[in-house]
Each structure stands twice: as structure tokens, then as C-alpha cells.
A and B are shown apart, each in its own frame.
Chain A
Amino acid sequence: MYKYDAIDRQLVNERVEQFRDQVSRWQSGELTGDEFRPLRLQNGLYIQRHAPMFRIAVPYGMMNTAQLRKLAYVARTYDRGYGHFTTRHNCQFNWPKVEDCPDILGHLAEVDMHAIQTSGNCIRNITTDQFAGVAADEAIDPRPLAEILRQWSTFHPEFAFLPRKFKIAISGTTEDRAVTWFHDIGLHLQQQNGEIGFRVIVGGGLGRTPIRGQIVREFLPWQHLLTYCEAILRVYNRQGRRDNAYKARIKILVQALGVETFAQLVEEEWAHTKDGPATLTQAEYDRVAAHFTAPTYSAAADDGVYGALQQSDKAFARWLERNTHPHKVAGYAAVTLSLKQHGVAPGDITAEQMELVADLADQYSFGELRISHEQNIILADVRKSDLPEVWLKAKAGGLATPNIGLLTGIICCPGGDFCDLANAKSIPIANAIQARFDDLDYLFDIGEIDLNISGCMNACGHHHVGHIGVLGVDKNESEFYQVTLGGRQGNDAKLGKVIGPSFSAEEMPDVVEKIIKVYLDNRQADACFLDTFDRIGIDPFKNLVYEGRAHGKAKAAQAEAA
């Protein structure tokens, strides 16, 4: 992975001192709360419900074991012994003290980590596919260009105070695993006539107004990545709405102008800077790409033993099926360590687990790991002959729940237990559903299904693109949950449809169970949930879920009578 050089390290160290100074000027009253707020947000520091929340960047999800051990140290020293991985390659701590944050940043800087632009109305952490560089279906490794984007977006002087936050995702595979259709800019790496470049998608986003992005340029040669992104951002910075935070994302601008007009403005802007100094050079690409060369793979990585165990041990076989992913090198597999153990907040990881993962990565995966947007950890380069050992050790650490892609492998935001923005709690809903579906045979029978939960319409839990989406809403100061069906990520990404009136927290496990029942009752052969939903539509689900349930006027009348 990318190793910092002198300039990278210098900038991160200077950031620590800048932030230390900002905190001290805030404490002395020189900076007002309003003046400090955007500054601390651009360093990932929120003042939350119970305590501050501190968001650390894991750029494009890549991490080495020294970094993970440092996160464990921070968790233990400054927090309550655990951290939380988010849907955008970040690690969050929920209980630090504001005055400790400069020191925490100092510790992180020792291992080339930081919290730069993890929040605020600026260019956020660049995200990509968790299997980048090893995926069997990958055309081009997106990581060198993701790193180039990271450097370019870090302290960009023109775009530090945008109308609203700005998220960029980049993907180089046939199957889109980076939710690129729902980012402010989504970049699809591809080849055209032997030339490498991007399809550029703009104006996607989840949140309050979920919109699928639109293509503004079918092919952009890679050398123009920075000048073209600057053109997009300049148009947005100048014309994006600043009068209403809910209408300030670039998606609203693209909708208002129409994608053709928007694309034309970008092209006009770009014409001035195209081929200018910010045009990428082959030398720079090669310099960065040299950090992402393949490790020294072993030719004898598969001794066949794991195959025998797969036959004899059902639990291992299940883990193999759900938690390993095809690798482009024969004899290797990418392993997903599940942070979705039933009963634990999805994405949460203890300091001890971090250290276990670091040990596993050192021993079995070249000392590196990745964080996925599904809030799990990936060991990307594991020899198949090591899989039984990795499984046993991960299992002992509570990291081998074989539920990746299954109903209980839930994506879930921290919700009302922690987050100030939340309308409702989300973790207890996830845990209640996990408890209801605790039987592995049943889970495997149900098969592939994405259940995503967000505690508010900001959609950190990506509920819109869950096959089953759950959104926490606030009705008369009580927590309710709205359910959507049929959403999906990937190339055919689309938004789920709302099934009907919302439910109380207590009803949610029953509701999910009924949805699953409709699917199983209507399943043909081994069609998955999504295919079945596409075939039968939303009505059968509505009918069962709301059967005997008064709603609308009837419900109001009932409430009146009660």
C-alpha cells in the first residue's frame, strides 16, 4: 500500500499542530463555537449526544497492521476500548474528550493516519472497492488514482468551503462494489481503445433526496482526472445552493440545470484548464502505482487440505461460502472478517479484536487489510492452505460469523444511541433482527439479502440501496421505522420502494419475518430475494405485512377509541 514520504508526513504533522492551536484558541474564547465548528468538523470531530465523536480516515479502505494496532491503542487509552467502522472507510470513536483529540491525532500521525476532511463541507475521504487489486473481476486497480485523488483533495484551497459535503468513489471492476452511482462523483475505471480512463458520473447521493447519479462524460482519459474534477467542483462551488442545506448537494444542482447543461458548463470550465499543469503525468502515476505492486505470492498456496475440511466441517464450509471471495491469483482467497456478530453493533470492533486482526494480517496476509463499505474487514491475500487456521482464530475472536451478504450481515449506522442527527435508534433494531434470525440453517436457506438500516434520512446506513431498507423516523417524538424493498447497489443500483406506513421498533422483527415469509412462499427454484421481488412486485409483501393491521383512518379511529 501507499507509504508516506516526507511531504505527506510533514503535512499531516502540520495538521496536528494546526488543530492543537485551533482547540486552544477555542478554549481561550478567541474562536467562537460557530467559528470552531467547521474547523473541528474538517478534522472529523463532532460534538455528539453523549460525548464527542471522532472520525478517523482510512483512505480508500487500506490499512497496515501498525495503523490498526494504533487504533487499538487509541480505543483503549482515550475511548472505551472499541471503535466503529463506517460505510465510508472511516473509523469512529464515540467517547474521546475534546481536549484529548490533538494528542490522539499526534499518535495517529506517527503511523501516517489522520482525520483530515472526514466531515464538513469539503471533499471527503475517497472510497473504493474493498477487493481493489485482488478482485478476479477487476480491469484496473483503482488504488493509485484513489491515492492521487487523496493528495489532490487534501487542503484544496479553492474547495475547503463548498455548499455541502462532497464524496468521490472510484471503482475498477465489472461489478460495482463502491456504490459509485450514489456519490457526488462516481468514477468507473475502464479501457477504451487501449487507453485507460473513466466514465464520470455526477450528482448521485442517498440522504434526504436520494438520486442516482448521471453520466456527464462517457470517457475521460486518466491524465485529466484532476483538471476535470476541478472543473466539476468549480461549477458546483460557484453555482450550488447555499441558502438551504437540504438543497445544497451537487445532485440538486445537476437536477436543477439538467445533466446536459451541467455537463456543458463543466466542459466549458475544463476547456480552460485542460492540459494545464494539473494534468497528471505518467511519472506521477508510476511513482504512486509502485506502492501498490502485488506482494510475492507463493506458487504452492493451496495444499488441498482446506478442501477436505470443507467436506467434513459444515461450519467451515459455510464460512468459506460466505466469507471468502475469489482472488485473481490461483491458490489465494480474500477473507472477510465479519463485524456483524449477532448482538453486537454492526461495524463495532474492540481493541482486542483489532489486535487479533493485526496479528492475522501479519501472519497470513502480508501485513495489510482493508475496511469495506459494508463495515467489515478484509484480509485480501490469504493462502487457501491457511484458511482453516484463519477461520479458527477469527472464530475464537468473534470475527467469523458466516453472514456476509446474508440477512444478519446488516449495514447499520450508529443511530440514536450515539448520533446527534438521528431520529431513531438503529443498533437495537439490527440486534433484534439478528436475534430473530439466529438460526444459521434458516439464514443460509434465505440466502443473499442486503438489509440496511439508517437512523435518519441522512442515510449513513445506505437504507435506500438495501434489498430491505429500514429508515428511522421521528413521529411526534416517538421512534418509528419506514421499510423499503427492492433497493440495490452495483451496476443496476436503484432505490427501494416504500412499502407503506411505518412501524414501531417492537414490530420490526415481525415485519422482517413476514417479508421473508412472502419471499420463501413465492420463491421459484433457488431464486434470490431480489429476483423474486422483481418478479412478484411489492404488493404480496404489503398484503402480508399489513394484514389485519389498521392504518390510515382506521388506525386513527382505533387510537381515538383507545
Chain B
Amino acid sequence: MAQLIKNNAVTADTWTTLELAEGETPETVTLPDGDIIFPFAVWQARKAEIISRHKRIGLLLTGDDRVEEVATELDYFIVIAVAFPKFVDGRGYSTASLLRQRYGYQGELRAVGDVLHDQLFFMRRVGFDSYALKDGKDVVYALQAGFSSFSDAYQASTSQPQPYFRRRA
């Protein structure tokens, strides 16, 4: 289990991510009850069924999934998890930027996968607000230092839409 950081604290995770076992397909997989984060392909294949059965819906986006394709459906999701298969795979930063800045997604935006201390600052900047820190990593120290590496930033981004040059006195 990853260690979930949310609202500046380590939090119990109430969500389960649906994983497809070998031989299962998005079309045939049994949809479990509860707070489930559905992979993009399952959502695409079983949208109507998921909406009718679940009040609280989560979505998992990987690097290859086009966020544009769910842009009009964002109101369905309580949580969107963006996968970082390796921490050096930076596509998730663009996914998050688009969700927040372009498509106005307001729900929980969670970084999952290879989520490490030294990426937290950037992740918060682009709009993540929960972080499934990798197992075995020092979550106390991550909370204490990981988000505050820098006290300000030059660029416009989700957490600060005005670039520094527009905020100069």
C-alpha cells in the first residue's frame, strides 16, 4: 500500500483501483462495489453501467490516455488518479495541467505510481492535491520538506496562475 498524503497529512485511502487480471478485458471485467478507481479503458467501455451502479466514481489515467477524451465527463469523477509508471516519466504533469487549467476539473487529483519526495513540489504546482507516496519512503519527512523546496516560482501554473513577473510590486 502506498502512503496517501492529502490535506497535508497521511490519510487512510478509501479507494480501490480496479486492476484487470490476466484474461480480463475492460468489456468483461466484473465491476466491484465500493469506491473504485476505474482504468480509462474500463470507463470508456462501461460508462453507462458504472454511472448507474456507482455514486462515487474514480478514474485512472495513464500516460497514453488522452485526457481530451474525458474532458466533458469530468463532473462524474470524485477522484482522478494520474499514473507515474516511473518518476522520470513526466507526462502526468501535462495531464494534470490540462485537467486543472483547461478543463476546470475541481475534484481530487491524485498522483499514483512512482511518486517520490523530490517530485512533490512540482506535482502540487501543476494541480495535484493528493499523493500516493511510494512504499518504504519517509512520509513524515516528505510532508515536512517535500512541498516547500522553493518558496515561490517564476512560471504561471495551476497553484499560482500568475507568473512572478505579473506579481512584482
Q: Interface residues, chain A, CB within 8 Å of chain B? A: 7, 10-11, 14-15, 18, 21-22, 25, 30-31, 35, 38-39, 121, 151-152, 154-162, 226, 234, 237-238, 242, 272, 276-278, 280-281, 283-284, 287
Hey, which chain B residues are within 8 Å of A158, CB to CB?
90, 93-94, 97, 122, 126, 157
Q: Are B102 and A21 in contact (CB under 8 A)?
A: no
- Mind listing 26 A-B residue pairs with CB under 8 Å? A7-B164, A14-B149, A30-B138, A31-B118, A38-B87, A38-B88, A39-B118, A151-B165, A152-B154, A152-B155, A154-B154, A157-B122, A157-B155, A158-B90, A158-B157, A161-B89, A161-B119, A226-B155, A226-B163, A237-B90, A242-B91, A276-B156, A277-B156, A281-B165, A283-B165, A284-B168
Q: Which 7 A-B pairs have the closest CB atoms?
A: A161-B90, A157-B125, A284-B165, A157-B122, A151-B154, A158-B93, A278-B156
Q: Are A10 and B151 in contact (CB under 8 A)?
A: yes
Contact with A along B144-169 (1 / 0, CB 8 A): 01000111111111000111111010
Hey, which chain A residues are within 8 Å of B138, CB to CB?
30
Tell me the complex Cα distance, A477–B99, Å: 50
Please give the distance in Å from B63's CB to the nearest CB on chain A. 8
Hey, which chain A residues are within 8 Å of B145, CB to CB?
21
Hey, which chain B residues are within 8 Å of A39, CB to CB?
118
Tell me the complex Cα distance, A460–B71, Å: 43
CB-nearest residue of chain A relative to B91? A238
Interface residue B137 (Cβ < 8 Å from any Cβ of A): yes
Interface residue B116 (Cβ < 8 Å from any Cβ of A): yes
Q: Are A14 and B151 in contact (CB under 8 A)?
A: yes
Q: Are B116 and A35 in contact (CB under 8 A)?
A: yes
CB-nearest residue of chain B relative to A25? B117
Q: Are A242 and B89 in contact (CB under 8 A)?
A: yes
Contact with A along B77-90 (1 / 0, CB 8 A): 00000000001111
Tell me the complex Cα distance, A18–B87, Å: 18
Hey, which chain B residues are within 8 Å of A155, CB to CB?
122, 150, 153-155
Hey, which chain B residues are within 8 Å of A10, CB to CB?
151-152
Hey, which chain A residues are within 8 Å of B156, CB to CB?
276-278
Q: Are B161 and A277 in contact (CB under 8 A)?
A: yes
Q: Are A156 and B88 in contact (CB under 8 A)?
A: no
**Other CB < 8 Å A-B pairs besides A226-B163, A278-B156, A287-B168, 14 of them?**
A18-B149, A22-B118, A31-B118, A35-B87, A151-B164, A156-B155, A157-B125, A158-B94, A158-B157, A277-B156, A277-B161, A278-B155, A278-B163, A284-B166
Given A155-B150, A277-B156, decide whether A272 and B88 contact each other with a Cβ distance below 8 A.
no
Please give the distance in Å from B161's CB to the nearest CB on chain A. 6
Hey, which chain B residues are within 8 Å of A283, CB to CB?
165
Hey, which chain A residues are within 8 Å of B116, CB to CB?
35
Hey, which chain A residues are within 8 Å of B164, CB to CB?
7, 151
Q: Interface residues, chain B, CB within 8 Å of chain A? A: 63, 87-91, 93-95, 97, 102, 116-119, 121-123, 125-126, 137-138, 145, 149-157, 161-166, 168
Please give the distance in Å from A173's CB to the nearest CB on chain B. 26
Q: Are A14 and B163 in contact (CB under 8 A)?
A: no
Tell me the complex Cα distance, A237–B163, Å: 21
Please give the distance in Å from B113's CB to the nearest CB on chain A. 13
Hey, which chain B residues are within 8 Å of A38, CB to CB?
87-88
Tell me the complex Cα distance, A152–B157, Å: 11
Tell me the complex Cα distance, A230–B125, Å: 15
CB-nearest residue of chain A relative to B89? A242
Q: Are B151 and A161 in contact (CB under 8 A)?
A: no
Q: Which of A151, A152, A161 contacts B87 (CB 8 A)?
A: A161
Q: Are B90 and A159 in contact (CB under 8 A)?
A: yes
Q: Are B166 and A277 in contact (CB under 8 A)?
A: yes
CB-nearest residue of chain A relative to B67? A238
Tell me the complex Cα distance, A60–B93, Å: 28
CB-nearest residue of chain B relative to A39? B118
Residue among A30, A35, A38 with max Cβ neighbours from chain B (10 Å): A35
CB-nearest residue of chain B relative to A242? B89
Q: Are A14 and B161 in contact (CB under 8 A)?
A: no
Tell me the complex Cα distance, A277–B160, Å: 10
Please give the distance in Å from A155's CB to the nearest CB on chain B. 6
Hey, which chain A residues are within 8 Å of B125, CB to CB?
157
Q: Which of A30, A31, A157 contacts B153 (CB 8 A)?
A: A157
Hey, which chain A residues are within 8 Å of B97, CB to CB?
158, 234
Hey, which chain A residues are within 8 Å of B91, CB to CB?
237-238, 242
Tell me the complex Cα distance, A189–B153, Å: 27
Tell me the complex Cα distance, A159–B137, Å: 24
Tell me the complex Cα distance, A11–B91, Å: 25
Please give the distance in Å from B41's CB to the nearest CB on chain A. 18
Hey, which chain B residues are within 8 Å of A30, CB to CB?
137-138
Hey, which chain A residues are within 8 Å of B117, CB to CB?
25
Hey, which chain B residues are within 8 Å of A154, CB to CB?
154
Tell me the complex Cα distance, A156–B126, Å: 10
Tell me the complex Cα distance, A329–B98, Å: 49
Tell me the complex Cα distance, A276–B94, Å: 17
Tell me the complex Cα distance, A155–B118, Å: 12
Q: Are A11 and B150 in contact (CB under 8 A)?
A: yes
Please give the distance in Å from A202's CB to the nearest CB on chain B. 17
Hey, which chain A residues are within 8 Å of B94, CB to CB?
158, 234, 237-238
Residue among A14, A160, A287 with max Cβ neighbours from chain B (10 Å): A160
Tell me the complex Cα distance, A242–B117, Å: 23
Q: Are B88 and A11 in contact (CB under 8 A)?
A: no
Q: Are A272 and B102 in contact (CB under 8 A)?
A: yes
Tell me the complex Cα distance, A21–B145, Å: 10
Q: Are A162 and B90 in contact (CB under 8 A)?
A: yes
CB-nearest residue of chain B relative to A38? B88
Hey, which chain A residues are within 8 Å of B137, CB to CB?
30
CB-nearest residue of chain A relative to B154? A151
Tell me the complex Cα distance, A7–B151, Å: 9
CB-nearest residue of chain B relative to A284? B165
Hey, which chain B residues are within 8 Å of A161, CB to CB?
87-90, 93, 119
Please give the distance in Å from A117's CB to the nearest CB on chain B. 13
Tell me the complex Cα distance, A237–B96, Å: 13
